[in-house]
Amino acid sequence: MARRAAAALALLALGVGASGCGEEGVSSGATLNVYVGASLCAEAKSELARHGAKAGDVEVRVLCLAPVERSGRTDLARIGANARRATEDSSSIAYVEPPGSANRFSRPILEEARIAWTTASSGASAMARVLHAVSEADTSSLRASVHEALESP
């Protein structure tokens, strides 16, 4: 158990040091990535397809995250790797995961990189919320605008 906690802290530190893209704008037709927890991915993809894989003038893609549960236990290293994957992607715009204990490990990594983060029990509703935030966002500071929109209740 202590070894897992140490590994998680090391991954957290690594993730906090990594940063995704800055606050640059995006051009029409750009492709943005939304990282979605494994259990929510199918619903999120369906909702995205319903919207034609677009939000405003940009293309949106769902990237499914690796499951964080193994043999009934939460895999802290996998949580860190999932969050780090999103922070290292300059096209990353949002991160969606189900409510649970994983959030307290992934959220600080994503917050440091200013990637919009949200939890949801429905992949469809989460994706609809992300798509709305992207379509309404200021394209000159898209990441910051989406982050602010998803942080608001």
For residue 139, give the CATH number of its domain: 3.40.50
How much of the chain exceeds pLDDT 90, in percent?
A: 63
Higher-pLDDT residue of 111, 9: 111
C-alpha torsion sign, points 65, 42, 92, 125: negative
pLDDT band at 7 (very low <50, low <70, confident <90, very high): very low
Over residues 92-118, mean pLDDT = 93
Higher-pLDDT residue of 139, 27: 139
Q: Which of 8, 12, 11 is nearest to 76 (CA)?
A: 8
pLDDT band at 20 (very low <50, low <70, confident <90, very high): very low
Higher-pLDDT residue of 66, 140: 66
Backbone angles phi, psi at 120, to 5 degrees: -160, 150
Are residues 38 and 70 in contact, defined by beta-carbon separation less than 8 angstroms? no
Rounded Cα distance between 96 and 123, Å, is 8
pTM over 0.75: yes
Domain count, the chain: 1
Range of the domain at 142: 2-151
Higher-pLDDT residue of 53, 7: 53
pLDDT averaged over every residue in the chain: 84
Rounded Cα distance between 107 and 87, Å, is 11
Higher-pLDDT residue of 28, 77: 77
